[in-house]
Amino acid sequence: MTAPRNSCFESDGTLIIGAGLAGLFTALKLAPAPAVVLSPDPIGTGASSAWAQGGLAAAIGEGDTAEDHAADTIAAGAGLVDPDIALMVTSEARARVLDLLAYGAPFDRDDATGALLASREAAHSTNRVIRVSGDQAGRAIMDALIATARATPSITLLENVTVDDLTVADGRVIGAFARRVGDDTSEPLMFRAAHTVLATGGVGGLYAISTNPGRVRGQGLGMAARAGALISNPEFVQFHPTGMDVNRDPCPLATEALRGHGASVIDESGRRFIFDDHPDGELAPRDIVARAIHRKNLSGGQAYLDTRAAIGAHIFDEFPTVAAYCTDAGIDPATQPIPVQPAQHYHMGGVWTDADGQSSLPGLYACGEVAATGLHGANRLASNSLLEAVVFAARIAQHIAGQDAAEGQPRPIDIPPALMDGPGAVAPDDAVRSLRQLMADHVGVERSADGLTTALKGIAALEAAHAPASRAFLNMTHAATLIAAAALDRRESRGGHYRTDTPDTDQTAAPTRITLDEALRIRAAAR
């Protein structure tokens, strides 16, 4: 459907910003209630969900339990996971897997029994990650949801529409300002709705080396914070240990499932050096493996993922996505080790929500990577991200249905003039490159007070020079400010946040709760 030309569009039902797994699942669970889904790209091409190689974690195997899954989640989260949220999510996993199967997700099954096949990934105590063709879960799940959404009459899909700002009136989010991709001169288009769901993804595009689509740049985090939403744990950024070091942007990912199948991490001499840092070696938590590889490469060595003995030529059939990346880079993974580097992969922090996906702002919900639900804490357990997205999408839909039933049709709200006070131009390429490099250099795998101060000063300078002309870039600099300011304020190390100047963990530390105003004050003091 083409976006309307008029300046204000009254959305039927719920407005959903983002068309990845979280956004589409929310729309499907809302049906037959109406929903309008906005996507900056053709549906399915720009979402991180489609790039997920791992799978979806769920306690569906014999002998596994939701309690065991929750315990693994809590252990991986380095002390900051909300245990009630963890058990809630793992307990609802089976129902959400059944939903995905009903929508057509072709999860791998045992040929003899028909049971869903489950693999093991790092920090899981048992096999509980369900997949599609080894490393194609994200793409296959998205294809199934897209087809179902297109066939659902209550869902309106609007492509090539990007959102720059949320609309707030009387203290309530009542919609969003958007523009057509590639059209930076026209007046912004306002979508007004009774409920707004933010499902815009993470912050990968803020980093020079990331496994995520470049358009996913923390825009949802930035606009929600500017509207006044409370932000939780923004300093916790997960770096995947085995991004492929082949000089491509985005960085191709060598899925963790390879290590689950016995692949090892070696240095240039063939030594499995991860065991120097953790007895589980390659299957240690991601942050430990990432730091070990980062230090190896930083010291002048080179880390490799070695699939030759454990998988060999079967990699072409069992992990076709990774094999294709290797082939494109001139690597034969059956006979050669794969050079790897840590790459920004996931953001544990985001817009704070309660158990129903409600943010601190009335009228605004958030789910998927843009949200901080309390599930991930300081370090996400592998393959919990897709699970969190569908669990909270379903809970949001259920909560909205309950609200509508209780309140009836929401009352009209007078829209004040000049709600969007800045232009909607695209972010300048040179400024984006500078910001991404600044974040990679100083707010990456390892951090320090000096580096974070340098980052905050640089972010402020880039914002002053370029953000006045681009609301899209302001979303990026506000998201980057939240991450760097919270990292400077947390004077300890845990999970995805490691400070070389304060490497110990403070056992009394609590989750971060921060507003944009507070982050800007930290940034100003860093000057």
Active-site entry in 96, 180, 286, 447: 286
Q: The tokens 């000096």 sit on which residue?
A: 450
d(CA 483, CA 499): 14
Terminal alpha carbon distance of the chain: 47
How is residue 490 written in tokens? 């947390």
Indicate the DSSP class of residue 403: H
Q: Which amino acid is located at 87 in the chain?
A: L
SS3 of 504, please? coil
Q: The tokens 């999970």 sit on which residue?
A: 495
Beta strands in 184-333 (DSSP E): 189-192, 195-198, 231-232, 237-244, 264-266, 304-306
How is residue 377 written in tokens? 């804490």
259 annotated active-site: no
Q: Between 384-407 and 93-102, two packed helices, what is the crossing angle to 10 degrees?
A: 90
- Up-side HSE of residue 389: CA atoms within 13 Å toward CB? 33
**415 to 168, 170, 175, 349: CA distances (angstroms):** 9, 9, 11, 31
| Kind plus residue range of the DSSP H or E element containing 10 | strand 8-10
**78 to 54, 286, 494, 498: CA distances (angstroms):** 22, 12, 6, 12
Assess contact for 195 and 15: CB atoms under 8 A.
yes
Assess contact for 140 and 132: CB atoms under 8 A.
yes
Q: Which residues are catalytic?
A: 286
